[in-house]
Structures are given as C-alpha cells and as structure tokens.
Amino acid sequence: MCAKGASLFQTTANNPARLKKVLYRAPGSDKWEEKTWDWAITEIAKRVKDTRDKYFIEKNAAGQVVNRLEAIAHVGSAALDNEECWPLQAMMRSLGLVWIEHQARI
C-alpha cells in the first residue's frame, strides 16, 4: 500500500485510537491541558487575525497594491481531494497568504 493509503486510517473517524479532544501545551510548559473545541477554534482565529493585522502588507516598496501576508504559510494535506483543496486554497488566498504549498509536491 502507498504511504498515503497506509496513513489514511490514522485520520479516519472510525480509528479507535484517534484523538477526540483538544490537547494544548502552553509555551514553556511540559504539561498538556485538555481544552474545549470552542476554546481552540476561538484561539486559532484570534492568533491568525492578530498575525494578519500585524504583518499584512498593503503596498510594496514601489507603492503598488499587493495585499499579501508573508508571516503565515500553509501546507495542504495529500489526504484532501480536489474538492476540499479548492475552498481551502481560496480561504488561504483571501487572507493574503503567498506561501501556499501542498504535501503532494514536497
């Protein structure tokens, strides 16, 4: 079986060993804390927005409008099909990301 197929079981909902809760380790900590999904999604959104607000580039050195964000990168998953990759890439581009890669190319 190919590596993609062999590892696919790890990401499927019917894997009894799949993690079903959010585990968070604070910076500098050696302990994992269980958090709620609401906390995790809110925290991720907050961090993405804070980073985008801080590092968003509206114009380049020549004064041309570029509307880009170079402080966040995205690596897609080979477990995604084309129908999943398209909206994910559209979302990343709507944030202004320019560093967008896909695992299948790496």
pTM higher than 0.95: no
The per-residue pLDDT for range 10-31, each reduced to its tens digit, is: 667 677 877 889 999 999 999 9
Distance, in Å, from the CA atom of 104 to the CA atom of 58, rounded to the nearest integer, reads 31
pLDDT in tens, 39-95: 999 999 999 999 999 999 999 999 999 999 999 999 887 777 888 888 999 999 999
Which pLDDT value is given to residue 78? 74
Beta pairing partners, 65: 59
Domain boundaries, the chain: 20-55, 59-106
Does pLDDT of 4 surpass 70?
A: no
